[in-house]
Structure 1
Amino acid sequence: MHVSVEEARAMLAALLPPLDTETVPLAEAAGRLLAADLPALVSHPSATESALDGIAARAADTLEASPETPVRLRVVGESRAGAAFAGMVGPGECVRIYTGAPLPPGADAICPVEQLTDEGEALTWLSRPASLADVRHEGGDFRTGEVVLRAGLPLTAPQLALAAALGHAAVPVRRRLRVALLSTGDEVVPPGQPLAPGQVYDSNSVGLSALLLECGCEVLALGRAPDSPEALQAAVDRAGGADVLLSSGGVSMGKYDFMRDLLLDRGRVAFWKVRMRPGGPAILGGWNGLPVFGLPGNPVSSLVVFQVIVRPALTGQPPQTLRLRAATSFRALPDKTAFWRGVIENGVVRDYGQQGSGVLRSLSEAGALVIVPEGQPVNAGDDVEVMLL
């Protein structure tokens, strides 16, 4: 029942129900998953425009401008956002222009206001040539009909602002997956309560809940189930109405790993154990028709398995990865894909150092997972695939 990371993703995704699509106003779409590709209804910019305040002129008229030999141009009007200059810029002429204002016909370059010395209202001196680079061309960001946002993306603030710029007042989104979230273990205590020796605060439910919300899910918090088969079954039974149950703890090889026993003995198991580290003991199965994905109890393992397997299954999007040069070596495992924590600095990635499953601060400080395939060590100087956290 051991599976690869790719098989685990596909098997979890296959158990999730198909989700209906609904259209909601942008103001109600934060955190939702986009259900369809979103094309641009307009071009942006909608016209060729200035990137700064200054004057719009013909570049050829200003090539000799310098502090020692300024060039004089005649000001024939102005162009501002919402009130474009209606005429033509001819030889030796310019138009005062403001950021975002349309570039008038005849002009092809901008000189910033800091490089101008006015001689009354009608004349100005340029101490440097006007720049073609300070012109924003029509459609330079996106053009009408271009698909800019892809289905499956979580709609965060940048995506929502972009959707508005594309011309959409409402967007198609997927119905929220309802995910029941359960922590297990006698040692797990809610944050804020006194902590006895051997106990740990329930960081898993906090981190996993935040990740589920990022994925556009609705979270049904089931709290904690103690190490008792009866208590665990009662907690799982409270997940009625959810689309999937996500648990942490109780899935390894120990005597008190009751989530494993519940699924193996009285439920259904699709796989138990993934060929990855950290997080190998994950289990996927079902209980009375409810898909159940059991994450390891170690905080790092739990959150890494979510990022590597659960998030792609929930969103339908592959993990975000890139290729970087390794500044240090990363060891390989003979029969597992390793996801070592790495730190990205100056365009290269180095080993975070502490790779234990209990070092929770590593996920906050590392920022990336370096993917080392089975039996393929990475040496310093090699290119390596990196998953951003």
Structure 2
Amino acid sequence: MKQNITVEAALEIVLQQAKPLESIELLPLTAAYGGILGAELSAKVNHPYTDDTAVDGYACLEADTRGASLGNPVKLKVVGQSPAGKPFTGKLEPGEAVQVFTGAPIPRGANAVIRVEDTLREGDYVWLMKPASAADIRRKGDDLVLGQTYLHKGDLLTPGRVGLAAAMGYDQLPVVRRPRVGILSTGDEVVEPGEPLPYGGVYNSNSYSVAGLVLEAGGEPVILPKASDSVEGVRAQLQRAGKLDLLLTTGGVSMGEYDIVRQMLEREGEIHFWKVKLQPGGPLLFATWNGLPLMGLPGNPVSAMVTFLLFGRPFLFKLLGRTDAPYSLLRAVADTPFEANPTRRAYRRAVLRWENDRYRVASTGNQSSGVLNSMAVGNALVVLEAGLLAQPGDSVDVIPFPGAS
């Protein structure tokens, strides 16, 4: 068992144990949002299907309109209409025009469009106050070309990508099955929200904050009933959990005699590492129990959330085969001091904002790992290497919370 390792070494071990899921589900478009695409997708059609108009106006021959102006308008005979979905089926001849509406196919024989605001209709004729142009014609395949790949395995299915898949001709999408992630809180002092809080008790916030992070990262959170402070209680909960792809425990991984998750794994599992050189979250443990990857998050609320963001989120991204990065790193100017840890990398909660063409960042205040409010008001982590503090005006590395940047 490795102990007191760096963040990079710990992340490498975590990712080594993350085996990409092979299970693919075929889902209707409305159920695919937020999922991860499980295969390459190529267009089933050209889009536009044929040359069409990008504006309302009149389709005509460009040669008929040369020299048209307010003082010298050109008169064309209107021989039909072409609204979207009901194209004009005839062929345009010289001296003629067809009224077209946005998205309508360009009639045969036409090679230019004049916008309606540059015309004056007079019965069966239309006066053009300027020359018609091909600039407002959208060419066949301008957006999508039949057979070309536009969506890739591992892509996050955003609304734009789902819409693109629909435009490509798909009514169902192959989506990677969401990993089932068990979340187990330990400790006799932990009480479910809504129940009376006894002397010495604490409400179970970890299960719900971590469940939200799991869901946002693409997993399916499975909140398990609380396990008591005994090896038998934890073991029983794990055995009842069913098929999981990852188990997250909160608490029970430090050095006390009641830290029973670590004790159980020392007897029955394989601990890959215990304790990482970071703050908050140093007691993080990663192990395998009966073939199930188990990440023992610290019990302090902030530590549990920070360590999931740094290690659990990348684990799920690899399971899903996601093409995007689990988190980004950017530079910002510090508006407040940020205290260093003398021996470990520190992740300080902060409020990140964009101001005057640059990112700026300020501390949320009290950085105790028990101050969960800092994760509610904060939207980023300032990263400080061991022994390196930041003063106002310094440039610092920042990890935005998911969705914050």
Pair in the same fold by TM > 0.5: yes
Q: In 1, are the aligned partners of 2:114 and 2:133 still within 8 Å (CA)?
A: yes
Measured after TM superposition, the shift of residue 139 of structure 1 is: 3.8
Cα gap change, 1:211 to 1:37, in 2 (>3 Å): farther
Summarize the alignment of residues 1-389 of structure 1 with structure 2, pairs less than 5 Å apart.
1-17=3-19, 19-27=21-29, 29-30=32-33, 32-56=35-59, 61=65, 74=76, 75-86=78-89, 95-104=98-107, 106-108=110-112, 111=115, 113=116, 117-124=120-127, 136-155=138-157, 157-196=159-198, 199-316=201-318, 317=322, 318-319=324-325, 326-328=332-334, 331=338, 335-336=344-345, 338=347, 340-345=349-354, 348-354=358-364, 356=367, 357-369=369-381, 380=393, 382=395, 386-389=399-402
- CA distance in 2: counterparts of 1:122 and 1:338, whole angstroms: 72
Cα gap change, 1:92 to 1:360, in 2 (>3 Å): farther
- CA distance in 2: counterparts of 1:87 and 1:255, whole angstroms: 87
- CA distance in 2: counterparts of 1:244 and 1:366, whole angstroms: 27
RMSD (Å), alpha carbons:
4.0
- CA distance in 2: counterparts of 1:374 and 1:132, whole angstroms: 62
Query: Which structure's CA Rg is the greater one?
Result: 2
- CA distance in 2: counterparts of 1:320 and 1:121, whole angstroms: 61
Q: In 2, are the aligned partners of 1:321 and 1:385 still within 8 Å (CA)?
A: no
Cα gap change, 1:339 to 1:354, in 2 (>3 Å): closer
- CA distance in 1: counterparts of 2:350 and 2:67, whole angstroms: 53
Q: In 1, are the aligned partners of 2:287 and 2:294 still within 8 Å (CA)?
A: yes
- CA distance in 1: counterparts of 2:260 and 2:12, whole angstroms: 25
Measured after TM superposition, the shift of residue 232 of structure 1 is: 2.7
Cα gap change, 1:217 to 1:335, in 2 (>3 Å): closer
Cα gap change, 1:352 to 1:311, in 2 (>3 Å): same
Equivalent residue letter for 2:172: A
Equivalent residue letter for 2:16: A
Measured after TM superposition, the shift of residue 64 of structure 1 is: 7.6
Identity %: 39
Q: In 1, are the aligned partners of 2:79 and 2:124 still within 8 Å (CA)?
A: no
Measured after TM superposition, the shift of residue 245 of structure 1 is: 1.2
Cα gap change, 1:323 to 1:258, in 2 (>3 Å): closer
Helix, strand or coil: the match of 1:303? helix
Measured after TM superposition, the shift of residue 289 of structure 1 is: 3.0
Q: In 1, are the aligned partners of 2:44 and 2:147 still within 8 Å (CA)?
A: yes
1:81-134 CA-to-partner distances (Å, cap 9, x unmatched) read: 2233456778886543223223456445562x56654333421555x8878775
Equivalent residue letter for 1:97: V
Measured after TM superposition, the shift of residue 322 of structure 1 is: 5.4
Q: In 1, are the aligned partners of 2:333 and 2:396 still within 8 Å (CA)?
A: no
Cα gap change, 1:41 to 1:230, in 2 (>3 Å): same
Measured after TM superposition, the shift of residue 285 of structure 1 is: 0.6
Q: In 1, are the aligned partners of 2:68 and 2:74 still within 8 Å (CA)?
A: no
The count of aligned residue pairs is: 385
Segment of structure 1 superposing worse, 16-25 or 243-252: 16-25
1:249-268 CA-to-partner distances (Å, cap 9, x unmatched) read: 22334554332333245432
Equivalent residue letter for 1:96: Q
- CA distance in 2: counterparts of 1:46 and 1:286, whole angstroms: 53
Q: In 2, are the aligned partners of 1:32 and 1:217 still within 8 Å (CA)?
A: no
Segment of structure 1 superposing worse, 368-377 or 166-175: 368-377
Equivalent residue letter for 1:328: A
Cα gap change, 1:58 to 1:25, in 2 (>3 Å): same
TM-score normalised by structure 2 residue count:
0.75
TM-score normalised by structure 1 residue count:
0.78
Helix, strand or coil: the match of 2:288? strand
Q: In 1, are the aligned partners of 2:5 and 2:277 still within 8 Å (CA)?
A: yes
